[in-house]
Amino acid sequence: MAETKNIKTLAQKAQKASRQLALLTTAQKNSALKKMAAALRKSKGYLVEENRKDLKAGKAAGLSSALMDRLLLNDKRIKGMIDCLLDTAKLKDPCGEILETFKRPNGLVIKKVRTPIGVVGIIYESRPNVTSDCIGLCLKSGNSVILKGGKEAFYSNRAIYKVLKETLKDASVPTEAIQLIPSTDRKAVTELLKLDEYVDLIVPRGGEGLIRFVAENSRIPVVKHYKGVCHTYVDKDADLKMACTVCVNAKTQRPGVCNAMETMLVHKDVAKAFLPDVIADLRDRGVEVRGCSKTRQIVKGLKAATEKDWSEEYLDLILSVKVVDSLEEAADHINTYGSRHSDAIVTKNKSVAQKFLDSVDAACLYVNASTRFTDGYEFGFGAEVGVSTDKIHVRGPMGLEGLTTYKYAVHGTGQIK
Amino acid sequence: MAETKNIKTLAQKAQKASRQLALLTTAQKNSALKKMAAALRKSKGYLVEENRKDLKAGKAAGLSSALMDRLLLNDKRIKGMIDCLLDTAKLKDPCGEILETFKRPNGLVIKKVRTPIGVVGIIYESRPNVTSDCIGLCLKSGNSVILKGGKEAFYSNRAIYKVLKETLKDASVPTEAIQLIPSTDRKAVTELLKLDEYVDLIVPRGGEGLIRFVAENSRIPVVKHYKGVCHTYVDKDADLKMACTVCVNAKTQRPGVCNAMETMLVHKDVAKAFLPDVIADLRDRGVEVRGCSKTRQIVKGLKAATEKDWSEEYLDLILSVKVVDSLEEAADHINTYGSRHSDAIVTKNKSVAQKFLDSVDAACLYVNASTRFTDGYEFGFGAEVGVSTDKIHVRGPMGLEGLTTYKYAVHGTGQIK
């Protein structure tokens, strides 16, 4: 009960601060970001010390080595956090941009102006750098931020937050604009997700379990992606050498990320010419290939792909392969089993490429390129808050603009209706 | 249980049809809209007959005369529905528009392309014209639509739906693209709101009770507005004659709508010069004025405004009036009690106007004009799906573009990461 009230109070403070944030100049925001970067640099010793408490608890709790690695703060990672704040200071301020201007017959001039959203809640798991990255991105876009990190990183997150919040006292930014929910309890998340009167957007970052929990319990709009089941369709008019390079890259360059390819679809007319070489190449790189029956007729010794494979996000050196009769079948397959994240076609035929772009329902569609480019940095956004597979508000890589909305400013000379 | 399954099946069909809709040309969509208009014209007799069943049931149930009036279908109203379909055919097709193009250093050309959202659910109350208006707007924007009307208009909605769906058989539009939930039960709404796998957006249209029910129970993003508590702030640098005209218009031109003014804020330096005249004018037009203590010192005989008045949406000839010390106090009052819908300032001072635009958190902010212009038609959108006081996806009047999203089409020449 006390906790519930605390979280509400904290959200109210964040909302109040957001009104002041909206009035800051770009120079004031950038100056605060640079001060924050300097403060992190000065506090390295303290951050590493607090991080050690998390590492110790993590070891005692038997966290996997992958999780322990994510948790670790060292000189290099603190430098990464500092660089992110400095890079954010260099980004164009999205707020105040005039998106459209239209004059009405009655003389009213209507301007659609980009503005901060207000209060953004970030719910995340182990990596402590998310704390400072998101504080920086929200500040630059003029939003108050409420952070709720995972319990494994409790001490690290709190230390980063304390250092950055302390810095705001000497800046023109209201200190209440950044808030950290100190609880390690998921109940605190449930409470936060009810506060639609004070919080305008929730961005969950973490595993599918966390994201589903947030999506199912939130009254506040959520921008999210559950997973990335990405496809590459090799058309009958593909440059097969290019197709091989693109597919091998999409699968193997970094298999553990959401924009890596999980299923390869191949047109039946080129299956015999294409599959033996590409599968040999993939196997050389340690990929386990699981094929449909037609694939397995062409390349012997493959494991069979089951129905379950088509919707699996392996995040590993595993690939399912299916031979399809047509572009339509490929698009149907992707629309049925895909995750609306990133899908590619390799073809020299422009009208086939266009049909693919129109038929497949996904955030990012590639013609003759690897799906691995779905990323805020690769898109030139200079930052990435996350990737959205939703269709509302923001789709695909979410940069600073994803943390903004707009308002209409209507200028008149006494018009009445 | 059977119902649950039926609603899911219907949503799946709508999603499947949405893939075909996305491939239609503008000409195909416009042709279907014109056929629909012609079909309504031919079916007037049938529509009026079915509407009579609703009117009879409504009378028996003791519906208010306002509700009975909303329910009524007559020649004029059917003509209104026909005109809306024909107007929609004339609107620019929003889909396919290239919103941005950027070339990356590696040669990738990234196009941000406007696309349909997919499947839109409309949950609405009594007015039967919403059925055909929304079918038309969703079709033009390339979306499948699932309609759930109120039980009072059951026969009318079903009749309109049947006539329009029948028409699709002769058009190139898949008939499954329009769906009506035949149930009169709110449980059906609850079921629909869980289907986030198939439905992409929910637009509730009706009273605050319906909208709150939808917002609190939906896993699908909702675009909504609860109410309109709109303000006009008369600054100390206002042209007081203009201020009087603007305020009287905003309150009295049509008091029962969401963009009408409910509270007038007046700077203390002009309160004595301004209040007596404007209040006399308002009272002449039958407005009941409720004032703060300062207002009541200046104009005698007014009812006192209580704390409750500041957040009240009267939708009637009632106005609350408050004298404020500064722009800051006005902005604070609006941010505290307002509904983020439409608020105005009257001032000749440009920097004060800009401060107002930056400080007040609302969809539409007016400088020297009546709040009554917040409306898709007045904004030049040619149509209005509703008005959003949310900040996510769409804010303010929601035209056809509000029924679209975007995807990234990335064109490469074999790029890998």
* Residue B248 pLDDT > 80: yes
B 211-250 → A contacts, CB under 8 A: 215-216, 219, 221, 239, 242, 245-246, 249-250
pLDDT band at B183 (very low <50, low <70, confident <90, very high): confident
Q: Mean of the pLDDT values across residues B193-197?
A: 94
Query: β-strand B98-103 against B318-324: which pairing, if any?
Result: unpaired
Check CB contact of B108 with chain A, cutoff 8 Å.
yes
Q: What is the pLDDT of residues A336-368, one digit of tens each?
A: 999 999 999 999 999 999 999 999 999 999 999
pLDDT band at A1 (very low <50, low <70, confident <90, very high): very low
For residue A373, list chain B residues with Cβ-Cβ distance below 8 A.
Answer: 108, 410, 415, 417
Q: Do domains A2-224+395-411 and A230-373 have the same CATH topology?
A: no
For residue A2, the model assigns a pLDDT of 56
- Neighbouring residues of A378: CB distance < 8 A, sequence distance ≥ 6: A397, B104, B417
Most confident residue range from A223-227, A280-284, B215-219 = A280-284
Rounded mean pLDDT of B65-69? 89
* Residue B1: predicted pLDDT: 47
- Name the residue among A221, A359, A367 with its Cβ closest to that of B23: A359
The residue in chain B having the minimum alpha-carbon distance to the alpha carbon of residue A366 is B410
Record: contact A118-B406, CB cut-off 8 A: no
DSSP per position, B29-58: HHHHHHHHHHHHHHTHHHHHHHHHHHHHHH
Q: How many A×B Cβ pairs under 8 Å?
A: 194
Homologous superfamily of A230-373: Aldehyde Dehydrogenase; Chain A, domain 2 (3.40.309.10)
Mean pLDDT (whole number) for B134-159: 96
pLDDT band at A325 (very low <50, low <70, confident <90, very high): very high
Please indicate if any CB of chain B lies within 8 Å of the CB of A110.
yes
- The proportion of chain A whose per-residue pLDDT surpasses 90, expressed as a percent, equals 90
Do B206 and B197 contact (CB within 8 A), yes or no? no
Which pLDDT does position A360 carry in this prediction? Answer: 97
Expressed in angstroms, the distance from the first to the final Cα of chain B is 50
Contact (CB<8Å) B391/A253: no
Nearest Cα residue in chain A from B200: A391
Residue B189 token pair: 């709404």
pLDDT classification of A33: cutoffs 50, 70, 90: very high
Interface probe, candidates A373, A388, A394, A413, chain B, greatest B C-beta count within 10 A: A373
Residue spans of the domains in chain A: they are: 2-224+395-411, 230-373
Tell me which residue in A104, A254, A363 faces B380 most closely, judged by beta carbons: A104
Average pLDDT over residues B287-303: 98
B window 304-333, beta carbon within 8 A of A: 331
User: Looking at the complex, does the CB of residue A67 fall below 8 Å from at least one CB of chain B?
Assistant: no
pTM of the predicted model as reported, rounded to 2 decimal places: 0.93
DSSP string, B325-349: SSHHHHHHHHHHH--SSEEEEE-S-
Q: Do B200 and A392 touch (CB under 8 A)?
A: yes
Q: List the single residue in A with minimal CA-CA distance to B101.
A: A379
Structure tokens at B79: 């003509």
Q: Is A19 on the interface with B (CB under 8 A)?
A: yes
Average pLDDT, chain B: 95
Inter-residue long-range contacts of A182-185, CB under 8 Å, 24+ positions, other chains counted: A182/A158, A183/A3, A183/A148, A184/A151, A184/A154, A185/A3
Distance, in angstroms, between A368 CA and closest chain B CA? Answer: 5
Q: Is the pLDDT of residue B282 over 50?
A: yes
Q: For residue B3, what pLDDT band results from cuts at 50, 70 and 90?
A: low
Q: Using CB atoms and an 8 Å cut-off, which of residues 378-417 of chain B contact chain A?
A: 378-380, 390-393, 395-396, 405-417
Binary contact (B369, A411; C-beta < 8 A): yes
Nearest CA in chain A to B250: A416
More confident: B196 or B383: B196
Q: Give the CATH fold of the A2-224+395-411 domain.
A: Aldehyde Dehydrogenase; Chain A, domain 1 (3.40.605)
- CATH class assigned to B2-224+394-411: alpha beta
- pLDDT tens per residue, range B95-106: 999 999 999 999
Nearest to A19 among B361, B395, B411 (CB): B361
Alpha-carbon span A310 to A320, nearest angstrom: 7
Who contacts B43 (Cβ-Cβ below 8 Å, separation ≥6)? B159, B163
Inform me whether the pLDDT recorded for B19 exceeds 90. Answer: yes
CB A372 within 8 Å of CB A250: yes
Say whether pLDDT at A4 is over 80.
Answer: no
Starting from the edge strand earliest in sequence, which strands make up the sheet with A288-291, in order? Answer: A303-304, A288-291, A318-324, A261-267, A230-234, A342-346, A364-369, B404-415, B109-116, B98-103
Structure tokens at B324: 């404020």
pLDDT digits (tens, 9 = 90+) for A162-194: 999 999 988 889 999 999 998 878 899 999 999
What ipTM was assigned to the predicted interfaces of this complex? 0.94
Q: What residues of chain B lie within 8 A of the CB of A246, using their CB?
A: 414, 416
The SS3 assignment for B104 reads: coil
Please report the pLDDT score of residue B2 as a whole number.
Answer: 56
Decide if B201 and A392 are in contact by the 8 Å CB cutoff.
yes
Provide the mean pLDDT of chain A: 95
Cβ contact A406–B415 (<8 Å): no
Task: Work out the minimum CA distance from B367 to partner chain A, whole angstroms.
Answer: 5
**B413: part of which helix (H) or strand (E)?**
strand B404-415
Please tell us whether the domain made up of B230-377 is placed in CATH 3.40.50.300.
no
Q: Out of A219-223, A281-285, B347-351, which region has the weakest mean confidence (pLDDT)?
A: A219-223
| A267 to chain B, closest Cα gap in Å | 18
Residues of A (84-103) whose Cβ lies below 8 Å from B: 102
Q: What percent of chain B has pLDDT over 90?
A: 90
What pLDDT is stored for residue B225 in this prediction? Answer: 87
* Phi/psi of residue A139, nearest 5 degrees: -60, -45
What is the rounded distance in angstroms from the CA atom of residue A329 to the CA atom of residue A413? Answer: 58
pLDDT surpassing 90 at residue A62: yes
